[in-house]
Amino acid sequence: MFADDNGKMNESKKKQFHRALNLLAKVDHENVLKLLSYDKEAQYPEVDGTYTPCMFMSLEYAGNGELFDYLMFTGYFDEDIARSYFHQLIDGLDAIHSMGFAHRDLKPENLLLDSNFTLKIADFGFATAFRKGNVETKMKTACGTKGYLAPEVLKGKKYMQSVDIFAAGIILFITFAGC
- Active-site positions read 105
Q: Are 55 and 92 in contact (CB under 8 A)?
A: no
B/e letters for 87-122, b = 16+ CB within 10 Å, e = fewer, are ebbeebbebbbebbbbbbbbbbbbbbbbeeeebbbb
Please name the residue ranges forming H helices in the chain: 11-26, 67-74, 79-98, 151-154, 162-177
Largest CA distance in the chain: 54
The residues, any chain, with a CB within 8 Å of residue 127's CB and separated by 6 or more, are 19, 20, 23, 96, 101, 102, 103, 104, 105
